[in-house]
Structure 1
């Protein structure tokens, strides 16, 4: 028997992101049997549910009473597809804010690059998102929604998720950890297929280590010395490179998992032979992998992408120093692939497509 609208308990925040135990408690508050929670969980995470009034397995009367309870799904505001199959989305949240997410297909794999904030407060000099400022943290349901939206649009199961979109994940660490749990337990993506990227927030990498996650930690280094890093990443003034690396070493010791260091290659700025040697010196002696990222130019700054030969030389130098290294193949260059680029370039009145 359902309760009246007047007596109905306060609902959870938007239901998306809630675990099965949380949903079980919620349906119990509505005097519904526990099996309704399993139906709701399946509908949310595997059937693309958007409005509780459409949940046909629920009693009609209860559905009508639940119609105003938010599920937590976004709307596609704009969609930009590149010839290589990469699709970048602008998603409109319930409060009207716009975020970016990217679907990156590769054979049978589908990777989603998710945002953790609306904008970003870190103000990295080479980043389009940083040029737009910071508005707010995303909620748990808004992160999980990005993955489900891409999965539905591609009609393909998502295999990997990287927290490398708009925002600094470790400034929204509690929500990011909740989202990792939901993506793993509710959506069904293995933790080893999840990557959390950060430029480094004091103490937060140790916080991640305490969680004993199997997810990959990726640290955006982008420079081989403190002075250069401060030029590119203003927040680095409060977090010296050696302290960041010490925290990364502690992470490896604590978890037994290697750290990936992301390094954007900027022509004639941080891509010289001496920079590669300096970087290798910092990373020698603990379990790491360097992911070189040739720069995707944006309109706001004059940084340029290095030539293929300079990229190869940098990689060869690291290999000669026995540093594990790879180069990330650029995807979606025709779809404003640099983070924040599509949001900056698309007119706010763009209709969904």
Structure 2
């Protein structure tokens, strides 16, 4: 419900300018959690308040993680009473949380009404030259429509897009998990990096993802550096160009294959936007306004599949593909899941692949696998998510049929 609809549908008390209690139960409250600063400023102006109130409330929500308007002590009592009756600060419901022995944290959130749907979020801690880093992998959709062949999440099919509140609520909850017992005035944001790399294709939920990232960058909210907010896409080329116009964040590409024939099999969207178009879009992205330094490089994500995309010739093809694209390459050991048709490349083969790329001058890292004990590793964001499309059931049946043919013919 829009802010105009909420404000116009309530009865205002002449003394407090707050909605009368008789109408409160009939009003669907506005969730302020997912509002960008521009949206919240408009909301307050429509209430007859100064727009600077938006910045005050955003700080309480995103920097001190307060949900009770009564605790917002630099706001007048009258305004707090008004907000209490027409607004709420509501994160998605946590139905499961699990903390790994390696420090990885995973949450399962219920989104939507009733039984709703479930999405997963993972936080990965690490140490680097800047100190302690906590990277949160955020979901943007319930399931995923792209059905990459090596990704367990894709086997669940697509259910719906997440709202802004459901997206930013994942970051809000992850931060709060480190501070639930800390006095409000002493709370500090803990998450240092965000990657839009969880369930779903972020560029297919463009508006909600864009607004959510603007909150992440906003100094009145999380104040994150644009280098520490990364959007990962499988290659929705028109939206990459639009993203370059709308916001400056880091870009990652789920590449996984160095030629069109293989990528068509692993990442089906490649049939619509082949590698030539994708690489050209990446070059435009980092070269916007002729200033490559503003975006520096694109991160290339490359999952290592045993005997599929990990041969020496694949490394050479990758070098040729990326030769004119400033890029950093992350090699990701495949994380097997039940009935997966692939295996993980051997450590020796991954290291040899890395050496070929590094010797050619690329910054190439091997991602450390974390969260295996809680199914939180890359490509495993699916665990308890209900499959309402029956894609997983059909896929498992297909795998079983193939196995039976092999057994019979053998």
The aligned runs of 1:33-52 (5 Å cut-off) are: 36-52=53-69
Indicate if the aligned counterparts of 1:117 and 1:167 stay in contact, CA closer than 8 A. Answer: yes
Name 1:306's counterpart in structure 2: 345
What's the CA shift string for 1:192-248, capped at 9, x where partnerless? Answer: 1110000001311111222351x2100010001111111111221111111111211
SS in 1 for 2:306: coil
Structure 1 residues without counterparts, runs of 5 or longer: 349-353
Query: Does residue 1:150 correspond to 2:174, yes or no?
Result: yes
Judge conservation of contact 1:2–1:30 (CA < 8 Å) in 2: no
Candidates 229, 245, 248, aligned match of 2:282: 248
Find the residue that maps to 1:291 and give its secondary structure: strand
State yes or no: 1:2 paired with 2:17.
Answer: yes
1:139 — aligned with what?
163
> Residue 4 of structure 1: CA displacement?
3.0
Check the 8 A contact 1:162/1:197 in 2, yes or no: yes
- Given the superposition, is the C-alpha separation of residues 63 and 262 from structure 1 closer, same or farther in structure 2, using an over 3 Å criterion? same
TM normalised by structure 2 equals 0.77
SS of the aligned residue for 2:269 comes to: helix
Would the alpha carbon gap of residues 25 and 201 (structure 1) be closer, same or farther in structure 2, given more than 3 Å must change? closer
Equivalence map 1:285-300=2 (5 Å): 285-300=324-339
Is 1:14 aligned with 2:38?
Answer: no
> Higher mean Cα deviation, 338-347 or 278-287?
338-347
Q: CA RMSD in A?
A: 2.6
Aligned residue among 85, 88, 111 for 2:106: 88
1:226 aligns with 2:244: no
Counterpart Cα distance in 1 of 2:39 and 2:274: 41
Deviates most, 313-322 or 191-200: 313-322
TM-score by length of 1: 0.89
1:207 maps to 242
* Count of paired positions: 346
The question of 1:169 aligning with 2:189 is answered no
The match for 2:391 is: none
Q: 1:27 to 1:307 in 2, by over 3 A?
A: same
Matches within 5 A, 1:120-135: 120-135=144-159
* 1:109 pairs with one of 128, 133, 149: 133
Structure 2 Cα separation of the partners of residues 305 and 287 of structure 1? 28
Cα distance 1:227–1:103, how it changes in 2: closer, same or farther (>3 A)?
same
Asked if 2 retains the 8 angstrom alpha-carbon contact of 1:77 and 1:91, the reply is: yes
Structure 2 gaps, min length 5: 1-15, 180-188, 388-410
Counterparts of 1:346 and 1:174, CA distance in 2: 24
Please state whether the residue corresponding to 1:344 is helix, strand or coil. coil
